[in-house]
A and B are shown apart, each in its own frame.
Chain A
């Protein structure tokens, strides 16, 4: 696993003080072949630093595991490179939260693995590296539910942002994406319908 700081992020953040004591550290999961996605994501971060977590072999849960074990932050925000921040007040919302925060509740709380994770909760739940896309889909139900149980009470920040409310599909960087969004954040989802109903094969 390699951690890099993308040059463009440093440029857009140049001259700005990083308030570690009040700002929740932000990590963005990506791979070495998703430079366009990361550039797009980085460009949407107007005034906030983030650390890309680059790993080609593993899935989101493994990246969360790596962040937890490497940085040992009390709390951190984990995002995908397929998001864009549409309004900087998003970070004000995040920084004002306490405890664990699921960005979305789709298909279950902490679905898509995006949110604010707490060290004390991560210390109390099993963390593993899904070996395949299918295993990652299982983990999206099994691990997120386990985490939510251990994190109670937690917040679902945007419960209204979900697959069924998406109104458009766009072509972006060589794939079709379902667009989930509100005024604060946009998520380009390359795989959708990967909900419990689809997973159980009906």
Chain B
């Protein structure tokens, strides 16, 4: 199975082994490291779940650990960051390897939601952005 980033409502960057992602429709901001970041970036760049499982086995991850992958994929879909791919991306999967012994590390915040979701044209008070119209 392949996933893809829900563009343009979701944006992300993968840098220094860290994923920073934001759902612009909900304002939920997610920071991922280690295994979370590697898996998310792999999926976002077109690596199939089957290839990821194969790479995880090669890297020495236990079956129980690998079984958790789907839970995280589903969570990223639920957060509006990923969806089932409508177009299969470039075949990056052949060379995919996974770093051994990583853990899932993921934090998310929603305290910017109000700001991110505000329509600056219609929802902003005369005081201006970012003051909502009802304040």
Contacts and interface: CB of A to CB of B under 8 A. Distances in A.
A141 B11 contact: yes
A105 B11 contact: no
Contacts of A127: 15-16
A197 B120 contact: yes
A199 B11 contact: yes
A99 interface: no
Interface in A98-127: 105-108, 126-127
Contacts of A143: 13, 20
Contacts of B22: 141-142, 145
A163 B120 contact: yes
A162 to B, nearest CB: 5
A139 B130 CA distance: 19
Interface string A125-163: 011100000010011011101100100000000001011
Interface string B11-49: 111011010111011010101000000000000000000
Nearest to B8: A201
A165 B112 contact: no
B113 to A, nearest CB: 10
A8 B25 CA distance: 47
A77 to B, nearest CB: 23
A200 interface: yes
Contacts of A165: 127-129
Contact of B129 (A106, A135, A139, A199): A106
A29 to B, nearest CB: 20
A144 to B, nearest CB: 10
Contacts of B9: 200-201
B129 A162 contact: yes
A195 B120 contact: yes
A175 interface: no
Given A141-B11, A142-B12, A197 B127 contact: no
A35 interface: no
A128 B15 contact: yes
Interface string A178-202: 0000000000000001011101111
Contacts of A142: 11-13, 20-22
A73 interface: no
B66 interface: no
A165 B126 CA distance: 8
B102 to A, nearest CB: 17
Contact of B121 (A128, A197, A201): A197
B41 to A, nearest CB: 13
Interface of B: 8-9, 11-13, 15-16, 18, 20-22, 24-25, 27, 29, 31, 109, 112, 115-121, 124, 127-130
Interface of A: 105-108, 126-128, 135, 138-139, 141-143, 145-146, 149, 160, 162-165, 193, 195-197, 199-202
